[in-house]
Amino acid sequence: MPAHPRPLAACLAFLLAPAVACGGDSPPGSTPTPGGSATPAASGWTLVFSDEFGVPGSPDPARWNHEIGYIANDEKQYYTSRSENARVEGGTLVLEARRERWMGYDYTSARLNTKGRAEFVYGKVEIRAKLPTGRGTWPALWMLGANIDQAGWPACGETDIMENVGYDPQTIVASVHTAAYNHVQGTQKNATITVAAPWADFHVYAAEWYPDRIDAFVDGQKYFTFRNEGTGSRTWPFDKPQFLILNLAIGGTWGGQKGIDDSLFPHRLVIDYVRVYQQR
């Protein structure tokens, strides 16, 4: 999160045992639509990882890690693993930000990742989600290089599939951060798309990651492409595994630029499913 040609089948490497479905009623390789029906996955893609959030309770620990505490970006929340902040209910994952005093902070929320559980090189990620809104919210669906502990940020590479800030509620942002291109230097590569009331309905936020480019989509509409310039890892660190992150931040260097409206809590980022595909 803003702080931050070879066959794809041979490139996708998971540390997780095959886990194509985790509850839910939709068959592998199908995508629920808002009306509840299913449409086939795009030809040539095979579902290799998913969580359909069909089992109530805590997020599946075989798939998700909880990040705890204050992380970065001058954000105002303390991340916890409590059910008040992260839970599966009604066939969805709910990440809830609350206004409450906790561990010296005035807000709590949740941030989940798949580090050490599902890490991959190239593929297609789809996340169907309904966003929160209101001044101070900063939800994100994104990926980080699994070598972050060795390479550091931004050299590890970051792929932001979806970001949104509550004071600009209908603008969806996709971006990448690398050693050469990142928000600290003001050189990040990104693009935006307008989505009408993304807090009112679910939308599918997606990224397709190839050896030569990364494309971002909302509901199948492509609006961002970042191309491999062929100049090395400073511009393209995206030939190494990445892991997924889902989080709801409050305030921070971007989300808090116009303050936080305390009258709107709690806020919820609601996720219907997370799916990762590889090409046959």
Is residue 74 included in any domain, yes or no?
Answer: yes
Quick one: average pLDDT of 258-271? 98
pTM of this structure: 0.88
For the cut 80, the answer to whether the pLDDT of residue 1 exceeds it is: no
Is residue 178 included in any domain, yes or no?
Answer: yes
Q: CATH number of the domain that 121 lies in? A: 2.60.120.200
For the cut 90, the answer to whether the pLDDT of residue 237 exceeds it is: yes
Segment 111-153, tens digit of pLDDT? 999 999 999 999 999 999 999 999 999 999 999 999 999 999 9
Domain count, the chain: 1
Is residue 36 included in any domain, yes or no?
Answer: no
In whole angstroms, give the CA distance from residue 208 to residue 214: 6
Segment 159-208, tens digit of pLDDT? 999 999 999 999 999 999 999 999 999 999 999 999 999 999 999 999 99
In whole angstroms, give the CA distance from residue 191 to residue 160: 11
> Has 100 been annotated as catalytic?
no
Is residue 139 included in any domain, yes or no?
Answer: yes
In whole angstroms, give the CA distance from residue 275 to residue 181: 27
Segment 224-234, tens digit of pLDDT? 999 999 999 99
Is residue 41 included in any domain, yes or no?
Answer: no
Is residue 3 included in any domain, yes or no?
Answer: no
DSSP of 102-134: ETTEEEEE-EEE-TTTSEESSEEEEEEEE---S
Residue 240: which pLDDT band, with cuts at 50, 70 and 90? Answer: very high
pLDDT for residue 43: 72
What is the domain range of residue 216? 8-26+47-279
Catalytic residue among 52, 126, 163, 208: 163
pLDDT for residue 280: 75
Residue type, 253: T
Is residue 156 included in any domain, yes or no?
Answer: yes
> Has 158 been annotated as catalytic?
yes
Catalytic residue among 75, 126, 158, 208: 158
Segment 27-50, tens digit of pLDDT? 333 333 333 333 445 578 999 999
Is residue 194 included in any domain, yes or no?
Answer: yes
